[in-house]
Structure 1
Amino acid sequence: MVKHRFTVEDYHKAYAAGALGQGRVELLNGEVYHMSPMGYRHRYFVTALTEMLVKTFSERAVVMPQCSLIVAPDSEPEPDLMLLKPPLSTYKDRDPNPQDVLLVIEVSDTTLAQDRSLKVPLYAQAGIPEVWLVNLLEEKLEVYRAPDYQPIYFDKGTLVAPLAFGEDGLEWWV
């Protein structure tokens, strides 16, 4: 059996034609993945982290929740949150690209294994400097940073600063 592998262009055409069905999807390594509906914990953490990031970094970064990011010709994940280089007006007439990204955040529960094995390597290959996985299952923050992307684990309540902002940390567990 042969799988059909999509490029981002094919994926956009198939989505526009309604060929990918209802609901949210994302393209990872040429394959289309249907995204599970967000549970209440996932929604809560995305919302709370969005508020926290806006309060802390809005003067130095654009906080962009739930938007897709083309990271390769065959991959367009949809991270839960991104911190992007300002100003916001940069993204009025174009989508962000990997060079715009300061930090990607994925809130992970049912998708934890997929986020670790598929998304983190895609972000690394695209040159994203830092990825945070908010691991809801183990209540830990997993931080992956260039150049080696080896995970660093932080317990609940620990102050963690994104690389782009030096020592300006967040108590990540909201």
Structure 2
Amino acid sequence: MVKHRFTVEDYHKAYAAGALGQGRVELINGEVYIMSPMGNKHRRYIGALNYEIVTKLKDKTYMFCQVPIQLDDKSEPEPDFVLTVPPGSRYDDRPPGPADILLIIEVSDATLVFDRTMKLPLYIRAGIPEIWIVNLLEEKLEVYRAPDYQPVYFEKGTAVAPLAFGEDRLEWWV
């Protein structure tokens, strides 16, 4: 069996040509993965976190929600949230890159193992300073921060302040 590896450029061409189907896909280490459909709990957390971020950090970050972020020439994952250096006009002529990213948040239930084993190492390799995995299965927040990226776990009900935003705490639970 032969596996075809994609670069980001190849991936964009294949997607534009309709070769990757109509569903949502991600390019991870040169391989295309079909994204699982979003369940009700996942959707609810996306809505709640979106509200928290917009309400509490609107003047401190520019947020992208569920858009592809190119990390290198073989990976373009689609995190649930990407909080970047403002203003948004910085990205009028170019997409945000790893140097622009302050925090990535993944909301994970069916994708928990994939997010931990495939996407988290990509974010770390790209030098993203902080990554959150909202673990819906165990109802915990997993926080990974540079330089060592050792996980720190927060129980449901604990508001957490992302490093880039001082004391501004986000209520990540619903």
- What range is the shorter-chain TM-score in? over 0.9
Amino acid at match of 2:70: I
Q: Which runs of 5+ in 1 are unaligned?
A: none
Q: Which moved more, 1:113-122 or 1:89-98?
A: 89-98
What does residue range 134-149 of structure 1 map to in structure 2 within 5 Å?
Answer: 134-149=134-149
Moved over 3 A (4+): none
Deviation at 1:43, TM superposition (A): 1.0
> 1:44 aligns to what?
44
> 1:63 aligns to what?
63
> 1:133 aligns to what?
133
Q: Give the Cα–Cα distance (whole angstroms) in 2 for the partners of residues 156 and 41 of structure 1.
A: 15
Q: Give the Cα–Cα distance (whole angstroms) in 2 for the partners of residues 165 and 66 of structure 1.
A: 21
What does residue range 109-124 of structure 1 map to in structure 2 within 5 Å?
Answer: 109-124=109-124
> 1:76 aligns to what?
76
Q: Give the Cα–Cα distance (whole angstroms) in 1 for the partners of residues 18 and 138 of structure 2.
A: 37
Q: Give the Cα–Cα distance (whole angstroms) in 2 for the partners of residues 22 and 88 of structure 1.
A: 29
Amino acid at match of 2:22: Q
Q: Give the Cα–Cα distance (whole angstroms) in 1 for the partners of residues 63 and 11 of structure 2.
A: 26
RMSD after superposition: 0.8
Deviation at 1:84, TM superposition (A): 0.7
Match of 1:93, SS state, is coil
Q: Give the Cα–Cα distance (whole angstroms) in 2 for the partners of residues 170 and 46 of structure 1.
A: 13
Query: Percent identity at matched positions?
Result: 67
Q: Which runs of 5+ in 2 are unaligned?
A: none
Structure scoring higher RCO (CA < 8 A, sep ≥ 6) equals 2
The count of aligned residue pairs is: 174
